[in-house]
Amino acid sequence: MPEKEFNLLDEPWILVMRPDGETEEVSLLEAFRRAPEWKGLAGELPAQDIAVLRLLLAILHAVFGRYDPEGNFVPLCAGADPPPTPADALKRWKALWDLGRFPMGILEKYLNRYRDRFWLFHPERPFYQVPGLLDREDKFGPFEASKLNGELAESDHKTRLFPQRAGSGKNVLRYSEAARWLLYVNAFSETFGKLEAKGKRQKNSPSLGVGWLGKLGLIAAVGDSLFETLMLNLVFLRDGGNELWGEEKPVWETEAVRTDERNEIAVPDNPSELLTLQSRRLLLKRENGAVVGYVLLSGDFFPKENAFAEQMTVWRNTAKKETDPPEYVPRRHDPSRQIWRDFPTLVAQSTGSHRPGIVSWLALLKAEELIPQTLFRFQTAGVSYGTMEAVIEDVFDDSISFNADLLTALGADWINRIIDEVDTSEKLVEHIGWLAQNLAKAEGDADGHAQRNAAREQAYFRLDAPFRRWLEAIDPNRDRMDDVSERWWTQAKRITRNLGKELVGQCGPQAFIGRSEITKSGEEIRHTAPQAYNLFLYATSSRDALKGGRKNDRQGKTGRRVRQA
C-alpha cells in the first residue's frame, strides 16, 4: 500500500444533504465550494456532524481570521499590526455573508499550502493521528473497526439487538467512513485508564475524562444551507462581545505532532486551536484498502472551569454561595429533557449566568442588523455515557426555533415571560405526577413513584410539540405579551387536565373505594381517586392556585386524615 493515501481535500468523505433530500459524499474542498447548494451535513450521527462542522469552522477561522475575502493579509487577531477593532471583525463577517459563497481562491491557496497535512494515511503526518502509535507499548487497544463506528459501538458485555452491520462487514470501514468516525472518536471518546504493556491497568493511573465535546452541552446555529450554517457559527468576536481572538493555531499548522499522553495545555485563545483540539492520540490500522481497527491514548486537555473560549456549549454556575465568585463549567444536556425546558439556560441573561457564545454572537449580529433572519434555529447534540463514563450508551439531539428579535433589546422582557411559561408548564407536569402517584396509592400501590414518573413523561410528551409551535410563533414586534401568555396557559391547562381525566378513567373500582395508609407518626390517611382528582383540579384551576397548590398535594399526600381512636 502507498505510504500516502486518501487526501481529505480531494477525496469524497463528508456526508452532505442535497436539496432533494438525498445524501452525498463530497471532499473538503467541494463542501466549501458548493456550500450554498447543500442543505447541511448529513452524517451517520448528529454528534458526528458537530465534529465535522467544527473542523470546517476551524479552516474558516484559520483563513478568514487572517485574510479578507479579496485575499489580502489583514489579521483580525489581537496584537496584529495595524491593530484591528471589533468593528473590523464584523465588517469582514458581513462581507462574507453578503458574498453568499466562500471565496474559493484564498481557501484553496491556504489548504493546498498544507495539503501534506490532510492525508488520512501518511508516514509522518497522518491527519488527526500520531504516526508509530501501533508500535507503542502504552497504547490502548488495538480496537476493531466496529468500535470506531459510532453506529455499531458495543460494550464488552452487550451486543446490539438490531446492528447496522453484521458478520465480517462490521469489522471494516471504507476510508471515507473512517475519516468521519476519526473526528467523532477524538471528540467524544469515553473515559479509559492507561494500560501497561501486558494489558493490566496501572494501580495509580489517573482517571482520564471523556473527549472534549463529550463534556459539553453542545449547541450550534442552523441555517437554510451549509453555507449559512457555517457562517452563523463563525464567531469572529468572543462571546459576541468586544474581544478579539488570539492568533489562529489550527493543529495542522503545528511544526510537530504531539505524542505525549495526557498533556495539559492552556485554554486556547483562538477558535481554530480549540476546534481542532486533539483529545486523543489516535492511529488507524488499514488492510487491503480498508480500515480494520485503531489504537489510541489520551491526548490534550485543559481545565473546563470558565473555559469561555468554547462558544458551542451551555454553562452552569457551580459557585456554592451567591456571594462566591461565579465559576462556570459546561452543562451537559439531559437526553430525557426536551431542549425547550432548558430555554432559560440557552438564553441566560440574568446575573450569575453565562449565555452560550454562539447565542450571544447571533444576538450581536441581529442587533447590528447584519443578518435578515427573522427566526433563529439551534441544534443541540450530545452523548450519554454509562458507568464511570467508560462506555457510550446513547447519542441524542434536539432542536429549538424562536424569533430572532427575542435576542435583541426588544426581546428582553419577552425572554423573562417565556421563562415564566416554561416554569408554568413544569408545575402543571408536577401536578399530573402527583395525581398519578395518589391514584396509584388509592389502588393499593405502596408509593406510586413509577406511575408518577410515567405520567410526567407522558405530560411532557403531550406539551412538547404545542410549546415548540407556541414559542416559534411569538413575534415581539406584533404580539401583546399578556395575550401570548394567556394563549399558552389555556392550551397547557387543557392538555394536562385532559391527561388527568384519562388517568382517573383508567383507575379500577378499588381506587374509588380508596385505601388507608398509616404514617410513621401513627396517623391514618385515606387515599381515594375522587379526592385526588378534586385536589388536582383545584391546583390547576388558575395560575395562583398552581403556584400555591396545597401542602399535602405537593408532598403527594392528598389523602383524608382520619382521627385515631
pLDDT for 301-325, tens place per residue?
999 999 999 999 999 999 888 888 8
Do the Cβ atoms of 261 and 282 come closer than 8 Å? Answer: no
pLDDT recorded at residue 181: 97
pLDDT recorded at residue 513: 82
pLDDT recorded at residue 157: 43
Give me the residue label for grid cell 408548564. Answer: 425
Residue 514 has pLDDT above 90, yes or no: no
Do the Cβ atoms of 328 and 351 come closer than 8 Å? Answer: no
Helices (H), 189-309: 226-232, 271-275
Interatomic CA distance for residues 229 and 160, integer angstroms: 34
Instruction: Enumerate residues 6+ apart whose C-beta is below 8 A from 28.
Output: 8, 9, 13, 14, 56, 59, 111, 118
Mean pLDDT of 151-171: 53
Residue 519 has pLDDT above 80, yes or no: no
pLDDT recorded at residue 561: 46
**Mean pLDDT over the full length of the chain:** 89
Residue at 254: amino acid letter:
T
Interatomic CA distance for residues 285 and 294, integer angstroms: 5
Do the Cβ atoms of 554 and 548 come closer than 8 Å? Answer: no
Tell me the pLDDT band of 205, cut-offs 50, 70 and 90.
very low
pLDDT recorded at residue 443: 87
Mean pLDDT lowest among 91-95, 154-158, 402-406, 427-431: 154-158
Mean pLDDT of 271-276: 98
Mean pLDDT of 156-166: 48
Q: What b/e readout covers 250-270, taking b as 16+ CB neighbours within 10 angstroms? A: bbbeeeebeeebeeeeeebbb
pLDDT recorded at residue 523: 73
Tell me the pLDDT band of 139, cut-offs 50, 70 and 90.
confident
pLDDT in tens, 28-47: 999 999 999 999 999 999 99
For residue 155, give the 3-state DSSP assignment.
Answer: coil
Quick one: which H or E segment has residue 55? helix 46-64
Tell me the pLDDT band of 161, cut-offs 50, 70 and 90.
very low
pLDDT recorded at residue 479: 95
Residue 206 has pLDDT above 70, yes or no: no
Q: What is the pTM of this model?
A: 0.91
Instruction: Enumerate residues 6+ apart whose C-beta is below 8 A from 167.
Output: none
Tell me the pLDDT band of 527, cut-offs 50, 70 and 90.
confident
